[in-house]
Structure 1
């Protein structure tokens, strides 16, 4: 649901600082992931809440039929069990993931 998503712009912050912030919010696992151009993930869920902070490129997340594009410095949190799909931009996407 759109109301369950939080996003904020985080520009000019280094990855270790972002990881520290995620750890302080209770995200136990953090790692950088990279997807190639136009990579798609069909509807799926995660057993735990996840945070995605875009480092390079673009990612479009779709929840309940609503698609939102995220670019460098933007963050989206996906609650545990939320059905969502993702599509990467034409240049791919590199992002930091946090898992609770």
Structure 2
């Protein structure tokens, strides 16, 4: 499995300038929301259930998901918690 630093370096190369590491507790819920810029999540440990446009996926270690700017999505952390890297690419200035 890629280590966290390699994941973060990849995100930087791909233009994600805001990079955070989260270790969320089991069963935490994130209701419908969006982001002003693009977002990329890469799972390191545990699992997360993500719903986008009515389609639900369960992501496990090494899985990733990309959310284009302003796409509404929701998530629920799995029963074992979830450690993931979150990359955000700020929206272009108009």
TM-score, normalised to structure 2, is: 0.91
Give 2:78's aligned residue. 89
Runs of 5+ consecutive residues of structure 2 not aligned to the other structure: 90-94
1:7-41 Cα offsets, whole Å, 9 max, x none, are xxxxx111111111111100001121111111111
Q: Supply the distance in 1 between the matched residues of 2:53 and 2:34 (Cα, whole angstroms).
A: 13
From 62, 69, 74, the equivalent of 1:80 is 69
The answer on 1:24 being equivalent to 2:9 is no
Give 1:55's aligned residue. 44
1:46-87 Cα offsets, whole Å, 9 max, x none, are 111111000111011101111001000111111110000001
Q: Supply the distance in 1 between the matched residues of 2:30 and 2:3 (Cα, whole angstroms).
A: 27
Q: Supply the distance in 1 between the matched residues of 2:23 and 2:35 (Cα, whole angstroms).
A: 18
Give 2:87's aligned residue. 98
Task: Map 1:60-75 to 2 at 5 A.
Answer: 60-75=49-64
TM-score, normalised to structure 1, is: 0.86
Tell me the SS of whatever aligns to 2:5: helix
Q: Paired residues, what number?
A: 89
Give 1:42's aligned residue. 31
Provide the alpha-carbon RMSD of the alignment: 0.7
Runs of 5+ consecutive residues of structure 1 not aligned to the other structure: 1-11
**Higher strand content, 1 or 2:** 2
